Amino acid sequence: MAALGSCAHPLAKQVIIVFSMANSHFLSRCSADDIQKAAGQLKAGHLVAFPTETVYGLGADATNEEAVKRIYEVKGRPSNHPLIVHVSSINALAIWAEQIPEYAIELARKFWPGPMTLILKRSEVAKDFITGSQDSVGIRVPSDPIALALLTRFESLGGLGVAAPSANRFGQVSPTSSADVTEELGEYLEGADLILDGGRSTVGLESTIVDCTNYIPRILRPGAITRKHIESLLSIKLTQIPTNSLLRVSGGMEKHYSPKAKVLLNAIPRPGQALFALIESETPSGVVRIGAPTNEVEFARDLYWALRETDKRGLTEIIVIPPAGEGLAEAILERLTKSTGGRSK
């Protein structure tokens, strides 16, 4: 392990770069130079895992087929699953998409940078290896300052966008810290790949995915940008579609977001089980309290951490009592239902 210098990041966020070389990792404090280096590695066809406000992403140059192939290998993910292209601003929409409806522009203006992905009719730039051969492409401008700095640098080197799924092995819990990424993918990365550390993700759940390929938008994956946010911005009512019909959307498969431990929803916790619930829920004797978030925002932020922590402590079952209600609570429940594989108890 070698420290490679220390600095304050220009965006006032301390960054650590983990250089992954085979099985050894070298840590260094980051600088604008490190972001530059990471952007250069992306441009050269290597992988860079980076923080976003939702979860950490595993990035590759979205125009480089070989680099994108490696994302699938490292994740162990089926290659027909489309990837989200990350860009630094709304200006890149016209590069990746065509026939962009007015409402999509309104959504982008309001919620970007932020935890929302728009699905749009693809342009010629979005190749089959990004879209899973679909006629549409997913695009997002993340708000995390390190992600934005990385994307801006990458674009200044001539890059058009960074394809990035969540930086976990297929079916596993999405990572919300660089340590999680190292744990998930460290052994699969190569010497020139990088992991950027930007601390804990602040939202903690993947972006809201909005299908903008029809005359009216549809939410394909709920997230922190909620149906109400979208309906009130656009002054429309969205149609609801059952999530199990969304086979090509992350989590559309039976089991997703799954730790090793069995996840049980709304069950009465028994001794030896882990419990993750809002602070007002009591902890029965013998139950291992994993977290006590004070509201649904903290609940979402800490949920994936709690699932990982349960595994780290060697516990085999976790009871989760999700917050009730609409909006973010729906997104929490959707992820949890998938992490149980559809089981409620």
Instruction: Between 31 and 136, name the residue whose CB sits nearer to ligand TXA.
Output: 136
For 260, phi then psi, to 5°, come to: -70, -40
**Cα(first)–Cα(last) distance of the chain, in Å?**
45
Q: Which long-range contacts (CB under 8 A, 24 or more apart) does 238-244 make?
A: 243/334
Among 15, 68, 119, 336, binds ligand TXA (CB under 6 A): 119
Per-residue x/- marks for Mg ion, 152-191, CB under 5 A? Answer: --------------x-------------------------
* 116 touches, from Mg ion, ligand TXA, none (C-beta below 5 to 8 Å by class): none
DSSP 20: E
Among 250, 273, 337, 340, binds Mg ion (CB under 5 A): 250
> Within 13 Å, how many C-alpha atoms sit on residue 39's CB side?
24
Kindly state the smallest distance separating residue 298's Cβ from ligand TXA, in Å. 18
| Nearby residues of 38 by Cβ (< 8 Å), 6 or more positions away | 17, 48, 50, 150, 153, 194, 196
Among 51, 113, 114, 138, binds ligand TXA (CB under 6 A): 138
Q: Which two tokens stand for residue 291?
A: 């977290």
* 274 touches, from Mg ion, ligand TXA, none (C-beta below 5 to 8 Å by class): none
Instruction: Between 88 and 207, name the residue whose CB sits nearer to ligand TXA.
Output: 207
Residues 246-285 that bind ligand TXA (CB under 6 A): 248-250
- Confirm or reject binding of residue 166 to ligand TXA (CB under 6 A): yes
Beta strands in the chain (DSSP E): 16-21, 24-29, 48-50, 57-61, 84-86, 116-121, 136-140, 162-163, 194-197, 208-211, 218-221, 262-265, 274-277, 288-291, 317-321
Kindly state the smallest distance separating residue 287's Cβ from ligand TXA, in Å. 31
- Confirm or reject binding of residue 165 to ligand TXA (CB under 6 A): yes
Among 20, 63, 131, 172, binds ligand TXA (CB under 6 A): 131
Q: 17-52: string of b/e by CB count within 10 Å (b at 16+)?
A: bbbbeeeeeeebbbbeebbbbbbebbbeebbbbbbb
* 249 touches, from Mg ion, ligand TXA, none (C-beta below 5 to 8 Å by class): ligand TXA
- Confirm or reject binding of residue 218 to ligand TXA (CB under 6 A): no
Q: Is 114 helix (H, G, I), strand (E, B) or coil?
A: coil
Q: Which residue type occupies 247?
A: L
Kindly state the smallest distance separating residue 72's Cβ from Mg ion, in Å. 12
Instruction: Between 64 and 166, name the residue whose CB sits nearer to Mg ion.
Output: 166
Strand-pairing partners, residue 27, are 18
* 63 touches, from Mg ion, ligand TXA, none (C-beta below 5 to 8 Å by class): none
Q: Is 282 helix (H, G, I), strand (E, B) or coil?
A: coil
- Confirm or reject binding of residue 81 to ligand TXA (CB under 6 A): yes
* 248 touches, from ligand TXA, Mg ion, none (C-beta below 5 to 8 Å by class): ligand TXA
- Confirm or reject binding of residue 196 to ligand TXA (CB under 6 A): no
Among 20, 31, 41, 52, binds ligand TXA (CB under 6 A): 52
What does the alpha-carbon distance between residue 15 and residue 145 come to, in Å, rounded to a whole number? 11
Which of 20, 1, 46 has the alpha carbon at shortest distance from 186? Answer: 20
The site for ligand TXA (CB under 6 A) is made up of 52, 54-55, 57, 81-84, 117, 119, 131, 134, 136-138, 140, 142, 164-166, 206-207, 209, 220, 248-250
